[in-house]
Structure 1
Amino acid sequence: MSGALSSGSSISLRLLGLKGEPPIRTLFWFALACTVSGAAATLMFSKGLQAEHVFSIPVLLMGVFTALGQWTQNIGWKKGKTLLCASVQFSAVIFAVIFGYLFFDEIPDAFTFLGILIIVA
């Protein structure tokens, strides 16, 4: 069983869903792990824990939307078809490239376009 769980986070979500694990519990552990690792990184790489940076509106919104995304992903992997869920999940890469180009003037290289073609195929 441990070999199947270690094959990828998406497959792990699928197996947890099939075993009856509630998506909200998976979300709780995901959020807790992110909070602890984020706090550790903040303490290690900043000059101190400054509440105005940690509790700013953009950071809090990013956390809320990440949690909502994880929750919907858990539900999708539990109830949905595996290939459809994987396709939708990997489409995030395409959106990231588009948003990087539109908002940050990032120019995708040839490997990026190759990856997009593989995802679409």
Structure 2
Amino acid sequence: MLVLVKLANESGVGLVEILFWRQLPTVPILLAWFAFRNNLHRLNSKRLGKHFQRAILGLGGMFLNFGAVTLLPLAEATTFNFTSAIWAVILSAILLREKVGIWRWSAVMMGFAGVVVIAQPGNSHIPLFGAMVALGAAFMIALISIQIRDLTRTEDSLIIVFYFALFSLPFLAVGLPFSDGAETAHQWKLLAALAASGLLGQFLLTAALRFGAVSSVIVMDYSSLIWATLFGWLFFERLPPAITWVGAPLIVAAGLTIAWREHILSKQKAVAAIDG
């Protein structure tokens, strides 16, 4: 999907249009899905206010995430995206008053060391503004994940996806008149493929979280760096410089350490709950 975002933007399609057409198919397709399963009544949520807040934050996160892809090479944008796990630890300590031990704080410092290595402030192959946008996107992902964790206590994952699209579309529609809007046949193909890949990705991620352990899903997510490197070479003829392969393992190792510690802590809590 991010390859298609970058291709569409380089062809002249603005971010607002990209986001609008990325979100639009979600509403009718999910409505049809719930109707087919006679489950339309499940859309009667009592937490519409929370869904609206999630949509506002999610829209900001998507702007930053897609913006980072347009500003940075694909592999670097993907690598910075991995810092969401690091931001999640910091936000958990600040917002949820969660006790964070030496393992996870050490992982946070290691991850940010990786960011400094790749960004090389003052002497970098990537624009500093692009790096800041990418880090902002990762921060928003972490913030939204905490909000989604709260929503999933009472709401199904597909319902959260549905209301995110439903509430974000009006804001994007307001911005459409200020976009060029004169897409070519090639650009329409890119937008259609982008929307399809984004929706398929949401379904696959939902299925992964349903049938697999969260820790396993998180680990598999790091394979996206391999795909980003491959697609960056195939579509944009660009490979990451050597310095990226010094910083990226630090960020990935930090994320894996955090995932491992959270897995251990969740098992300890489960055992304590049984013993208690």
TM-score tier by shorter-chain length is 0.5 to 0.7
1:72 equivalenced with 2:208 (yes/no)? no
In the TM superposition, residue 25 of structure 1 has moved relative to its aligned partner by 1.3
The aligned counterpart of 2:244 is: 112
Instruction: Count residues with an aligned counterpart.
Output: 116
1:24 equivalenced with 2:164 (yes/no)? no
Maintained 8 Å contact 1:13/1:78: no
Mapped partners of 1:32, 1:111: distance in 2: 42
Maintained 8 Å contact 1:101/1:107: yes
Higher relative contact order (CA 8 A, sep 6+): 2
Mapped partners of 2:197, 2:228: distance in 1: 15
Maintained 8 Å contact 1:23/1:74: yes
Which entry has the higher C-alpha Rg, 1 or 2?
2
List runs of 5+ in structure 1 lacking aligned partners: none
In the TM superposition, residue 108 of structure 1 has moved relative to its aligned partner by 0.7
Structure 1 residues 37, 87: CA separation in 2 closer, same or farther (over 3 Å shift)? farther
Deviations 1:60-94 (A, max 9, x none): 12112101212221332344312211112222222
Structure 1 residues 7, 101: CA separation in 2 closer, same or farther (over 3 Å shift)? closer
1:85 equivalenced with 2:217 (yes/no)? yes
Q: What TM-score, normalized to structure 2?
A: 0.33
Mapped partners of 1:41, 1:113: distance in 2: 39
RMSD between aligned alpha carbons?
Answer: 3.6
Q: What is the DSSP-based 3-state SS (H/G/I as helix, E as strand, rest coil) of the residue aligned with 2:239? A: coil
Mapped partners of 2:196, 2:222: distance in 1: 21
Give the letter aligned to residue 25 of structure 1: I
List runs of 5+ in structure 2 lacking aligned partners: 1-91, 97-139, 257-276
In the TM superposition, residue 38 of structure 1 has moved relative to its aligned partner by 5.3
1:98 equivalenced with 2:230 (yes/no)? yes
Give the letter aligned to residue 29 of structure 1: Y
